Structure 1
Amino acid sequence: MNVRTSRLLSTAGAAVMMALCAQTPSALAQESTSRTAAPPSGTTVKGTVDPLALEALKSMGNYLNTLQNFELHATASAQTGLGDMDLQVHIGYESTYRVQRPNKFYVELKSDRTIRQYFYDGKTFTINVPRQNYHSTVAAPSTIAQMIRVADVDYGISLPLIDLFTWAEDPGLDGIETVIRVGFAKINGRETDHFAYRGPDLDWQLWIARGEVPVPLKIVITDRTDTLRPSYQAELTWNTSPQLTARDFAFTPDAQSTPIKIAKNTEEK
């Protein structure tokens, strides 16, 4: 995976976090309000803020912050440049997340090229590479938020959508310059409201499910700092009441897997 793709996939989680981390209690607007017409064409300029679109972010964040256990499957693709060439390519992957707050998660990332699995059980963190038959296990801190920081700072591991795990611990909507409602859409048969947002470097869109379970069902991110405008999109399938056990977060190596030592970053962030 090239640098552009890695950057976009890791940035996607940060962009989604901006949308969903607010904690101020608020209820999603009623059905009649949610059908307000989208702004006329040509009125989307820097500084435009639709209160309904902003309220939808807060309501979605508030709901997600109530989930102590959840399972998420994402089918995603990144459109990016190939090496230093002015050539756009699409790279697809799938990811599965199982989360049990405050101190357990499992993440699996699959692409045509590789599979990576990440196990965190509150005491240890394991990276497993099943196709190459090796794994690495290190001692871990006691919370998901701390583990995410250690993985990023100490080992340079930044997982797509990882901020799904920690929205409640980093409230705020800093950096959003434009917020609008685009309109109604159906994603895999479910009714959603489609919103678009602009920050300093990214354009991003969210399709938020209507009703009592306002989860994001689709995400599109575009990086404006790159002349090729690489983009990331994912459709999300949620299970908000999974039956998770300790086995879901425990790593058991098979007989062919070789333990290795993971290198630590030498630079401080």
Structure 2
Amino acid sequence: MITLGLVRRAFAPGIVLCAAILAGGAQAQGDGALQILKGMSAYIGGQPTIDATFDSDIEVVTNDLQKIQFASSGQVMLSRPDKLRATRTGGYADLELVFDGKKLTVLGKHVGAYAQADFSGSVEQLIDKMRSDFGVEAPGADLLLPRSFDDLMTGVYDAKHIGRGVIDGVECEHLAFRSPDTDWQIWIEVGANPVPRKFIITSKAVTGAPQYTLRIKNWKTNAQPPADAFVFKPAAEVKPVAFDSLGGIDEVPPGSLQGGKK
């Protein structure tokens, strides 16, 4: 039987080395981390169209401090300045969001209902409105916007270029950042297409420090979307409802606790 003491001794050299890197060399590369992040922001912001798929995992912490993870997958299609289509399918919700520049539609396929609101503006303005008016947060949405660097760096007091890692077979630059309430990491593809491949947000303000993890893949930039990509065509069986009546659209089932008590 392998005892805990043996495990500790076996891993101790790696732990010491890792601690030394994070405390010294990586911290000294803060400027490098900012330049890599700026490069990603400029590249993404300069793409007229984006088409990508994603997998996401969100953790909740129960009252007895057990971490439970909920997984979803989806697709995002963006055509600047004012077209967006996104899907997210998980175990508890099957959603589709369509924005054609004049109207926002959110379809809950699993509840057979959709809600619409008139809105004219850019995708950036739409994301801001969804947060302020509908309380809808999209943790990875900022990565797609031209101002992503400024948004991501809000409140950041520490930046590190950890080194390189491989995500889905793609070599990436690994960056880590700290702000008062969250720590977050991002892996950005090395080379001529500096797209984000993985994004992790750790909540330090919640007991148990739950994480949100986003993996983005199948990137297509500057590709022409289908003519009807941003047209909403409701099926006969789905019914229109008010936004405040469109329930059950979260990534986690009702009653799940997003953290325990401090």
Q: Aligning the two structures, in what range does the TM-score lie when normalised by the shorter sequence?
A: 0.7 to 0.9
CA RMSD of aligned residues (A): 2.3
Per-residue deviation at 1:44? 5.6
- Which is worse superposed, 64-73 or 142-151? 142-151
Code of the residue aligned with 1:60 in structure 2: it is: M
Q: Deviations over 1:143-171 (max 9, x none)?
A: 21222222222222222312234333883
- Per the alignment, residue 211 of structure 2 pairs with 231
- Per the alignment, residue 248 of structure 1 pairs with 229
Aligned residue runs from structure 1 range 191-206, under 5 A: 191-206=171-186
Code of the residue aligned with 1:115 in structure 2: it is: D
Q: Sort the Cα spacing of 1:118 and 1:42 in 2 relative to 1 into closer, same or farther, 3 A.
A: closer
Code of the residue aligned with 2:120 in structure 1: it is: P
SS of 1:212's equivalent? coil
- Which is worse superposed, 102-111 or 137-146? 137-146
Q: Does 1:142 align with 2:121?
A: yes
SS of 1:77's equivalent? strand
Say whether the 8 Å CA contact 1:145–1:165 is kept in structure 2: no
Say whether the 8 Å CA contact 1:134–1:258 is kept in structure 2: yes
Say whether the 8 Å CA contact 1:49–1:178 is kept in structure 2: no
- 1:60 corresponds, among 40, 60, 73, to 40
Q: Does 1:151 align with 2:130?
A: yes
SS of 1:41's equivalent? helix
Which consecutive unaligned segments of at least 5 residues does structure 1 have? 1-37, 265-269
- Which is worse superposed, 140-149 or 87-96? 140-149
Per-residue deviation at 1:211? 0.6
Which consecutive unaligned segments of at least 5 residues does structure 2 have? 1-17, 246-262
Code of the residue aligned with 2:131 in structure 1: it is: D
Larger radius of gyration: 2
Per-residue deviation at 1:192? 1.1
- 1:113 corresponds, among 92, 97, 103, to 92
TM-score, scaled to structure 2: 0.78
Distance in 2 between residues matched to 1:72 and 1:250, nearest whole Å: 18
Distance in 1 between residues matched to 2:156 and 2:74, nearest whole Å: 27
Code of the residue aligned with 2:83 in structure 1: it is: K
Distance in 2 between residues matched to 1:236 and 1:230, nearest whole Å: 20
Q: Sort the Cα spacing of 1:182 and 1:92 in 2 relative to 1 into closer, same or farther, 3 A.
A: same
- Per the alignment, residue 244 of structure 2 pairs with 263
Say whether the 8 Å CA contact 2:54–2:74 is kept in structure 1: yes
TM-score, scaled to structure 1: 0.77
Q: What percentage of residue pairs aligned between the two structures are identical?
A: 24
Distance in 1 between residues matched to 2:203 and 2:90, nearest whole Å: 21
Q: How many residues align structurally?
A: 225
Q: Deviations over 1:103-133 (max 9, x none)?
A: 1001111111111111100111111011211
- Per the alignment, residue 75 of structure 1 pairs with 55
SS of 1:85's equivalent? coil
Say whether the 8 Å CA contact 2:97–2:104 is kept in structure 1: yes
- 2:162 corresponds, among 167, 179, 182, to 182
SS of 2:147's equivalent? helix
Q: Sort the Cα spacing of 1:170 and 1:145 in 2 relative to 1 into closer, same or farther, 3 A.
A: farther
Say whether the 8 Å CA contact 2:41–2:148 is kept in structure 1: no
Per-residue deviation at 1:262? 1.9
Per-residue deviation at 1:219? 1.2
Code of the residue aligned with 1:43 in structure 2: it is: A
Per-residue deviation at 1:64? 0.9
Say whether the 8 Å CA contact 1:48–1:177 is kept in structure 2: no
